[in-house]
Amino acid sequence: MERLIDRHGRVATDLRVSLTDRCNLRCTYCMPPEGLDWMPTEEQLTDAEVVRLVGVAAAHLGVEEVRFTGGEPLVRRGLVDIVAQVHAAHPGLELSMTTNGLGLARTATALAEAGLHRVNVSLDTVRRDTFTELTRRDRLDDVVAGLAAADAAGLGPIKVNAVLIRGVNDDQAPELLAWCLERGYELRFIEQMPLDAQHGWQRDEMVTADEILASLQARFDLSPAVEPRGSAPAELFRVEGGPATVGVIASVTRPFCGDCDRVRLTADGQVRNCLFAREESDLRAALRAGATDAELAERWRAAVIGKAPGHGIDDPTFLQPGRPMSAIGG
C-alpha cells in the first residue's frame, strides 16, 4: 500500500477527524463567549461522507488509528452511527475520541458497543468555580460523571487533557494529578497554543512545560517513564516510582514535529497536515464530484507530500492559522 508520506520522510498513520466545529462549552483559551460563526450544515461532511473518507484512509493509505474530535464530537448527532459503521468496515482500526465529556455519561456505553476503544476527556480543574470561569459554563459535575461512565464502559485507559492558564488554574496541577491518580485516569498537560479564535495567545503568558513539571515536583516524585517517546507527543513521567504516569505535551517549548505521524480531516472535508498549517486540500469537492476511492487516496497523498517540517511558532514570521483549533479539530 502506498502510504501518506511527506518529503521529510514522515509517515502519517494517525488520522484526526473533526466531526463538527460546534461546542457546548466556551473555554476561554479556545473561543469567545458568544461562540463562533458555525459551519453551515451543507458544508459539513455527511455521516456517509465521513465514513467513506475514513475508509479510504484505512484501506488505501495505511492509516491505523482514527481519533474523532471537534468542536465537541458528542454534539454530532450521527456520532454513534459513524463509529459503528467505521468499526464494522475496518475492525482493525484503533478508534478514539477527544471530548469535553458533556453527555458522555449518556453515550459511553453505546459508543463502546459501537466500537470506540478509548476516550480523552478534557478537564482543566476539579474546582467548580475555576471550571465555570474557564469554560464559562457550570458543568463540572457532568464532566466528572462522563469520565466515570466512560471508565465503566471500558473506554480506558481514560486519559485526561488539561491546559493551564496563568492566574486561573496554574496553581492547581498537583491537585488535578492527585484527583486523577485516585481514579486511575492518566493526566496529560498540554501547553497552551496560539490557536484560540480571539488571537489572544501570548508566548510570555503561556505556562511552560518546565513550570508545569516544577509545580508537580513540589508535591510528587517524578521520573522519566519512556525514552525515547517516539511519535507520541506526551513526555511521560512515572509518579512516585509508578506504575501511574503523568504526561506533558510541550508543543511550543519542545516541539515534536520531526516525529509527527498525524494528518487531519476537518468537518468540511479538508485535509490539513498540521494544526498550524496555512494550507488545506479539498477532498469534499472531489468526493461530491464523484471521485473514486483510488482518486481520493491519490489526492490525499498529494496533499501530505508538502507537509511543512515544523510549526514555526518560534519563528519571527509565524502567523496563526486562519481557522481556530475548534474548527480544525484539536
268: left (phi over 0), alpha (psi -120 to 50) or beta: alpha
What is the residue whose three cell numbers read 468540511?
268
- Contact code string over 31-70 relative to ligand SF4, x by CB under 6 A: x--------------------------------------x
Residues in the chain: 330
Q: Which of residues 65-94 bind ligand SF4 (CB under 6 A)?
A: 70-72
161 binds, among ligand SAM, ligand SF4, none (CB under 5 to 8 A by kind): ligand SAM
Angle value at C-alpha 200, between 96 and 44, nearest 5 degrees: 40
The verdict on 161 binding ligand SF4 (CB under 6 A) reads: no
Cα 35 from Cα 223, distance rounded (Å): 40
Q: Who's near 152: CB < 8 A, 6+ residues apart?
A: 108
Residue 180 phi, psi (nearest 5): -70, -40
Q: Taking CB positions, which residue lies at the least distance from ligand SAM? A: 330
Residue placing its CB nearer to ligand SF4 in the complex, 133 or 295: 133
Residues 6+ apart with CB under 8 A from 122: 27, 98, 99, 100, 101, 160, 161, 162, 163
Residue 12 phi, psi (nearest 5): -90, 115
20, 107, 122, 208: which one binds ligand SAM (CB under 6 A): 122
Residue 97 CB partners (closer than 8 Å, separation 6+): 67, 68, 69, 73, 111, 116, 118, 119, 120
* Choice from 190, 244, 265, 296 touching ligand SAM (CB under 6 A): 190
- Closest contact distance (angstroms) between CB of 31 and ligand SF4 is 5
Question: How far apart are CB 210 and ligand SF4 at their closest, in Å?
Answer: 23
**Residue 26 binding target from ligand SF4, ligand SAM, none, CB below 5 to 8 Å by type:** ligand SF4
Out of 20, 135, 169, 192, name the contact with ligand SAM by CB under 6 A.
192
Look at residues 179, 188, 186, 161 and name the one whose alpha carbon lies nearest to residue 29. Answer: 161
C-alpha grid cell, residue 288: 461530491
Q: Which stretch binds ligand SAM (CB under 6 A): 92-100, 108-116, 234-242, 277-285?
A: 92-100
Q: 3-class DSSP state for residue 275?
A: coil
**Interaction partner, residue 190 (ligand SAM, ligand SF4, none; CB < 5-8 Å by kind):** ligand SAM
The SS3 call for residue 208 is coil
Nearest distance, CB of residue 24 and ligand SAM, angstroms:
9
Kind and range of the H or E element at 134? helix 128-135
Interface with ligand SF4, residue 169, by CB under 6 A: no
Q: Is 23 in the site for ligand SAM (CB under 6 A)?
A: yes
Q: How far is the CB of 195 from ligand SF4 (least distance, A)?
A: 9
Strands 94-99 and 222-224: unpaired
Q: Which of 98, 107, 135, 169 binds ligand SAM (CB under 6 A)?
A: 98
User: How big is the site for ligand SF4, counted in residues (CB under 6 A)?
Assistant: 12
326 binds ligand SF4 (CB under 6 A): yes
| Residue 222 backbone dihedrals phi, psi, to 5 degrees | -115, 140
Q: Does 161 bind ligand SAM (CB under 6 A)?
A: yes
Which parts of 94-113 interact with ligand SF4 (CB under 6 A)? 100
**30 in contact with ligand SAM (CB under 6 A):** yes
- Please give the residue ranges that form the binding site for ligand SAM (CB under 6 A): 23, 29-30, 69-70, 72, 98-100, 122, 161, 163, 190, 192-193, 195-196, 325-326, 330
Q: Rule CB under 6 A: which residues touch ligand SF4?
A: 23, 25-27, 30-31, 70-72, 100, 122, 326
